[in-house]
Structure 1
Amino acid sequence: MLDNELKALLVPSLCNAVVRAGAAIMQVYRHKDDYDIRIKSDKTPITEADRQAHDTIKNYLGQTRIPILSEEGREMRYEERCNWELFWLVDPLDGTVEFIKGNNEFTVNIALMQNNRSVAAAVYVPYLEKLYLAWLGGGAYLKQNVAPRADAEYTYDQIREGLQRLPLETTRHDRPRVAVSRSHQSPETAEFVAGLRAKCPDLEIVEQGSSYKFCMLAEGDVDFYVRTTPTYEWDTAAGELILSEAGGETLSLPDNRPLQYNKADLQNPWFVCRGKNSPF
């Protein structure tokens, strides 16, 4: 758990890094001809926005002298990182497929990991100008109208100003809602959702890209999220803490265990997430 001195020092670094990365992403997003789309070794796409966001975060968080494990630096050998006590776990652009499609459903994810557990996290949705923030034992919050800025330099007091505690009262809904990935579904996902529908015939399906699904759960806008296609540790670490501090949980499938981080293999198992007021 972060002490107050460390929190006041590192939370601004965390928030300014995601906002600056969001500015880099939006700069590319406005110029579709310059996306420079390539395919990585795992057959997933990478764009100029991914690279710009990665460089922005690396340069800014490099000032903290804390190691960085990023999706775009995944070649980091396990032998080099296995003994890290403190490190940043980064997804510079989560939802690259949605970015390419132009549907605005992409985020920047950064978690501060201590002893392989997320102790502070931020998820930034640059198109919506929404910043989600949590620290272990301190709750989860939403800060709205945070515009992408390449020179973001918020102080700790400025970040705390106007925070809304999650979940929000305004997101209450009558029908149970389950979130699924917009672009990464599988027969197992459909089977799992069918099982939920058998319990709740009026179940509403919400398709959504990126880690924003964790944020919707934390807000209380959806109740459940199931993922049965590949994800990696940087896809979940920030969102999981935000959801947890908002009263929800994330468990692996089929064994219902907490997700593990900084493993030799950085891929996650399948998992399910429940919001604080989930009926499931």
Structure 2
Amino acid sequence: MINDKVRMYLLPPLFNAAVRAGAAIMGVYKNRDDYDISLKTDHTPITIADRLAHKTIREYLGPTRIPILSEEGREMRYDERRNWELYWLVDPLDGTVEFIKGNNEFTVNIALMENNVCMGAVVYVPYFGKMYVAGRDSGSYLKEGVFPSADASYTYDEIVTGWTPLPLPSAACHDHLRVAVSRSHQTPETHEHIARLRAAHPDLEVIEQGSSYKFCMLAEGRVDYYVRTTHTFEWDTAAGELILREAGGETRSLPDGGELKYNEEDLHNPWFVCRSKFCPAL
């Protein structure tokens, strides 16, 4: 098991890789005529920002000698990765569709996986300078004012000084159910699920949001529930799921209510729902 000393050693590279990737992303975001958009084999878009963020993370985390499974990395056969005890699970730019639309709702996701369980995670929201950090059984935290920097070199003490434990007590002060859904990936099943919730909660409020930032909103307590009935991959959820878990929330697969599994032969996730610590009984 990863001990506290190793966790302290790995937090700065985890944190700084995300900040540096955010700088690469924002450098492209300012020049919207130069995104170099193309389609991957699964017909999802990829931009030069995705590629640059992946390159930045790969180069910065390389000295840890921990293998990297990244959305934008080379395709790895299951036989190659199935016995990994420790690896980084990375989405260099989560919310590429939102990035292209220019609505600021995109993140950098990096999870440290041990025996296919997320032990440490960051979700970075570069446009807002917000970094969410979690360690298994060590809590979940928000650090604000972390602005993109190509040469970020935060120390452990600098990271943990001034961060705010999650959830935020002030965020629980709303009197109706708030349900998050993907801004760009909804299905009839999404709408049917919400209709069932609305039958018991007529004043339910739907909040559309892109990327893994939805997990962070749940961790803060600003939204109560999140339903996803379209395809996601393991790198879309690992980091955000830990941040939510350590803030007192949970993620469960649909329809069986199980836990999400990682480093599977097929890297697609099942459908799932998330609940914040403050979510009422549904």
In the superposition, the TM-score normalised over structure 1's length comes to 0.99
Residue aligning to 1:188: 189
SS at match of 2:72: helix
Counterpart position of 1:100: 100
Aligned letter for 1:15?
Answer: F
Equivalence for 1:56: 56
Alignment of 1:111-122 (within 5 A): 111-122=111-122
The CA deviation at 1:73 is 1.7
Counterpart residue number, 1:169: 169
- Cα-to-partner distance string for 1:130-160 (whole Å, 9 max, x where unaligned): 0000000000000001010000010100000
Matching residue of 2:212: 211
Instruction: Measure how far apart 1:170 and its partner are.
Output: 2.1
After superposition, the C-alpha distances for 1:95-136 in whole angstroms (9 at most, x for unaligned) are: 000000000000000000000000000000000100000000
CA contact (8 A) 1:2 1:136 kept: no
1:229 aligns with 230
CA distance in 2, matches of 1:82, 1:184: 30
Distance in 2 (alpha carbons) for counterparts of 1:56 and 1:33: 22
Counterpart secondary structure, 2:66: coil
Alpha-carbon RMSD? 0.7
Q: How does 1:1-280 map to 2 (within 5 A)?
A: 2-73=2-73, 75-172=75-172, 173-279=174-280, 280=282
Residues 36-77 of structure 1 show CA distances to partners (whole Å, capped at 9, x for unaligned) of 000000000000000000000000001100000000125111
Contact 1:29–1:99, Cα closer than 8 Å, also in 2: yes
Shift of 1:4: 1.4
CA distance in structure 2 between the aligned counterparts of 1:58 and 1:201, rounded to whole angstroms = 47
* Stretches of structure 1 lacking an aligned partner (at least 5 in a row): none
Report the TM-score when normalising by structure 2: 0.98
3-state SS of paired residue (1:58) = helix
Q: CA deviation at 1:259?
A: 0.1
CA contact (8 A) 1:94 1:210 kept: yes
- How far apart are 1:257 and its partner, in Å? 0.2
Provide the C-alpha distance between the structure 1 equivalents of 2:257 and 2:2, rounded to a whole number of angstroms: 27
Aligned-pair identity (%): 69
Runs of 4+ more than 4 Å apart: none
